[in-house]
Amino acid sequence: MKKTIVLALGGNALGNDLPGQMAAVKTTSVVIADLIAQGYRVVVTHGNGPQVGMITGAFEAASKTEAKSPVLPMSVCVALSQGYIGYDLQNALREELLNRGINKPVATIVTQVEVDAADPSFKNPAKPIGAFYSKEEAEALSRKGFEMREDAGRGYRRVVSSPKPVDIIEKETVKAMLDADQLVITVGGGGIPVIRDGNTLRGANAVIDKDWASAKLAEMIDADMLIILTAVEKIAINFGKPNEQWLDKLTSADAQRYIDEKHFAPGSMLPKVEAALSFSRSKKGRKALITLLNKAKDGIEGKTGTIIGD
């Protein structure tokens, strides 16, 4: 059977605005098509930082005009970002594959990711999003259920939680598409955060780290490898110091030790290494690779990047 790869695209693979995104996905599609041409089954995941920021900013700005558009819950903003990123990405992938004579269906799944209502992050939302508000505006939004926090004297901003993923709601659909030899784009922006209440899934005011969500997806569809694409070719310890050391391969024990020694920056490399370690530990033989987009093929072949796994 073909090996299955979950490929988690970083922000540099998607651009920072609409024209940049349309250009970036063309380059990104070449790399993904190369892997498919080599015989791998590929599931594509991606972040949404700049895109979801544009969406929240636009609706927040509109809420202050005569139009009085509603300020949208974070779960809805993530859903919107999944749609328009997926639209550009799937069309670029379809074109690249057809140009190579590969007739493979490509589709984006609007994906929900379950989080635990008891996750500790809900007690202390800390991730700021969107525009700045006056105290009076912030109090009005608080009455509507939004968590607001003063931001370094610049005004008030919405803050949301960042809980860990516990389940991928559409995992069976992803697996069915894979088994039908289709290319799947899923878990966009870490997935739409939802909390299970009986048979009901309700949106959570949160964002999920896309690398953690990608690792959970890779685990649940029994992928062989998780590839986390980032802005560096390899990860390093003592980064930026005279004794900086770039790493080719890490055992699970080494990765955990470096995490405990705080070699990786929170909000940057730390969640990538933690997610990679989580996947590699989930089943014997699973490996995770952290590298650059254009080095993915070489990384799979063991020529570059950082491999995590025993």
pLDDT tens for residues 228-247? 999 899 999 998 889 999 99
Catalytic residue among 171, 210, 216, 234: 210
Alpha carbon distance 170, 289 (integer Å)? 24
The long-range contacts involving 96-103, CB below 8 angstroms and separated by at least 24 positions, are 96/26, 96/29, 96/30, 96/32, 96/33, 97/33, 97/36, 97/183, 100/33, 100/37, 102/33, 102/36, 102/37
Residue 297 identity: K
| Residue 270 lies inside a defined structural domain of this protein | yes
| Model pLDDT, residue 264 | 92
SS3 122: helix
- pLDDT classification of 270: cutoffs 50, 70, 90: very high
**269: left (phi > 0), else alpha (psi -120 to 50), else beta?**
alpha
| Residue 10 lies inside a defined structural domain of this protein | yes
| Residue 267 lies inside a defined structural domain of this protein | yes
Alpha carbon distance 274, 71 (integer Å)? 33
Confirm whether 103 is a catalytic residue. no
| Residue 126 lies inside a defined structural domain of this protein | no
Catalytic residue among 127, 155, 203, 297: 127
Tokens of 277: 């370690």
Catalytic residue among 11, 15, 130, 188: 11
- Taking the CB of residue 176, how many other CB atoms lie within 10 A of it? 12
Query: How open is the CA angle 56-61-65, to the nearest 5 degrees?
Result: 145
Alpha carbon distance 187, 220 (integer Å)? 13
| Residue 131 lies inside a defined structural domain of this protein | no
| Model pLDDT, residue 154 | 86
φ and ψ at residue 111, rounded to 5 degrees: -110, 130
Confirm whether 272 is a catalytic residue. yes
- The domain tally of the chain equals 1
Contact 275, 283 (CB under 8 A): no
Confirm whether 127 is a catalytic residue. yes
| Model pLDDT, residue 67 | 76
| Residue 147 lies inside a defined structural domain of this protein | no
Residue 305 identity: G
Residue with tokens 């993904």: 32
Q: What is the pLDDT of residues 31-69, one digit of tens each?
A: 999 999 999 999 999 999 888 888 988 888 888 887 778
Contact 32, 41 (CB under 8 A): no
Catalytic residue among 3, 12, 53, 57: 12
Alpha carbon distance 8, 43 (integer Å)? 9
- Mean pLDDT, all residues of the chain: 92
Confirm whether 123 is a catalytic residue. no
Q: Where in the sequence is the domain holding 35, given as residue range(s)?
A: 4-115+169-308
Catalytic residue among 272, 295, 299, 305: 272
| Residue 160 lies inside a defined structural domain of this protein | no
H helices of 121-160, in order, are 135-143
Q: Any idea how long the chain is?
A: 310
Residue 211 identity: D
- What's the whole-model pTM score? 0.91
Closest CA to 188 of 12, 16, 52, 33: 52
Q: What is the pLDDT of residues 164-202, one digit of tens each?
A: 999 999 999 999 999 999 999 999 999 999 999 999 999
Q: What is the CATH number of the domain that holds 103?
A: 3.40.1160.10
